[in-house]
Structure 1
């Protein structure tokens, strides 16, 4: 896993790069959060869709909800870059829509959209 920091004013966003699945369960999510904060000092970060297990996108597993709840509790913000149109689940589409309306989690198509979303929140 490699990390870099994008800074805009006083806002810093960690960009996590890896070809591996980084979050396959709740503990992985906590470990990733701790690593990002330790390595970069950032409370906002970007990962790619392929860094999440497919179970994350199956809402019935509750993994997405559990991860987002943990990150909310620890004031960590995350943007996921990917192609989310491939999922047929109306529940998942609604979940992604609701996340994108908030200030904590974003599901976007590219790195610039992720940076814009995360730099735009405090």
Structure 2
């Protein structure tokens, strides 16, 4: 079970996260808070994140992996998933792992951290 106090939660308001530099800034904040996990509202991610051919998601996720900081994308991304088989597969595979999760709501977040 993971301690929820060890999670850095980004607010829904704020500049979109689009670049690897943006990801590095968030990771730096996580280190500053001693947080091994970051929860990012789906609305904070630039729309290009959900179009895998842009490679935005790959660059951002790779930064989190390199620094060993877990990433949770929290919120409804059903429209993005419905528009892309590749994204659907990426989300499914990510949710099987222990580094990147796409979760719909707080209840899923609580359940995931309770079993982690």
Normalising by the smaller structure, the TM-score range is: 0.7 to 0.9
Residue of structure 2 equivalent to 1:34: 28
Q: In structure 1, how many angstroms separate the alpha carbons of the residues matched to 2:78 and 2:96?
A: 17
Q: CA RMSD in A?
A: 2.1
Report if the CA contact (8 A) 1:78-1:106 is conserved: yes
CA 119–35 in structure 1, closer or farther in 2 if over 3 Å, else same: farther
1:90 aligns with one of 85, 93, 99: 85
Higher percent of residues as strand: 1
Q: Of the two structures, which has the highest relative contact order with CA contacts closer than 8 Å and spacing of 6 or more? A: 2
In structure 1, the gaps of 5 or more residues are 1-6
Residue of structure 2 equivalent to 1:76: 69
Aligned length: 114
Residue of structure 2 equivalent to 1:16: 10
The answer on 1:58 being equivalent to 2:58 is no
In structure 2, the gaps of 5 or more residues are none
Higher percent of residues as helix: 2
CA 37–119 in structure 1, closer or farther in 2 if over 3 Å, else same: farther
Q: In structure 1, how many angstroms separate the alpha carbons of the residues matched to 2:12 and 2:5?
A: 23
TM-score of the pair, normalised by structure 2 = 0.86
Q: Secondary structure at the match of 2:78?
A: coil
Q: In structure 1, how many angstroms separate the alpha carbons of the residues matched to 2:115 and 2:69?
A: 14
